[in-house]
Amino acid sequence: MLTAAGANAGVLRGLPCLLGVMAGMGLMMFLVPLGLGSVVLQNPLVLKALHWGGAAVLLWLSWKIATSRRIESTPGGNPVGFVGAAVFQWINPKSWLVSASAGGTFLSAEGGSPIVQSAYLGGLFVAAALPSCFLWLAFGATVQRFLHDPRRLRVFNIAMGLLLGMSIVLIV
């Protein structure tokens, strides 16, 4: 999403998408370890539906990307905004798995208040996400000038679609 935002709109206009990813995932990294994730993870049917539903959505997205004749919209177009990027984290199965596994790995009964530990985990994610997610945004903005050639664009879209499709292995 951030690569497409950078390729479509450049770094500055892609910043709301970046901030939305950070805010949505930071909030998730706070709430999931705090207890919301345990409700999902303790119900095997909900967890299985989340895995398979998320895998289906990601396969659909990877197909759309791989078969697209453009980056995501027209160059100079509007990327996914702050709210869209933040909300997307809540339907992204990889985000749920990362949040739940981080909570299970880093939170402990001896660590003090669950609220403080969860807030620390969410804040730590936001601090780490800024530079790493910025790289994806900048990569998209950088690669944009090479994608004006239809053949390069086709290869790029197929590669991005395949990489997204292969990430499903981590979910199912």
Q: What was the pLDDT predicted at 96?
A: 82
Asked whether residue 167 is domain-assigned, the answer is no
Please answer whether residues 41 and 141 qualify as being in contact, where contact means their C-beta atoms are separated by less than 8 angstroms.
no
Q: What was the pLDDT predicted at 80?
A: 81
Query: Residue 10 is part of which domain span?
Result: 2-52+71-144
Asked whether residue 154 is domain-assigned, the answer is no
Q: What was the pLDDT predicted at 63?
A: 87
Please answer whether residues 71 and 155 qualify as being in contact, where contact means their C-beta atoms are separated by less than 8 angstroms.
no
Asked whether residue 123 is domain-assigned, the answer is yes
Question: How much of the chain is in helix, strand and coil states, percent to nearest 5?
Answer: 85, 0, 15
Please answer whether residues 30 and 118 qualify as being in contact, where contact means their C-beta atoms are separated by less than 8 angstroms.
yes
Asked whether residue 58 is domain-assigned, the answer is no
Q: What was the pLDDT predicted at 83?
A: 94
Asked whether residue 62 is domain-assigned, the answer is no
Q: What is the largest CA-CA distance in the chain?
A: 57
Asked whether residue 66 is domain-assigned, the answer is no
What's the number of domains the chain is made of? 1
Asked whether residue 28 is domain-assigned, the answer is yes
Per-residue pLDDT of the chain (172 residues; tens, 9 = 90+): 888 888 878 899 999 999 999 999 999 999 988 886 556 556 667 667 766 777 787 788 788 878 877 655 444 556 789 999 999 898 887 788 788 777 777 777 677 788 888 899 899 999 999 999 999 999 989 988 888 888 988 888 888 889 888 887 876 6
- pTM for the model: 0.71
Q: Name residue 39's amino acid.
A: V
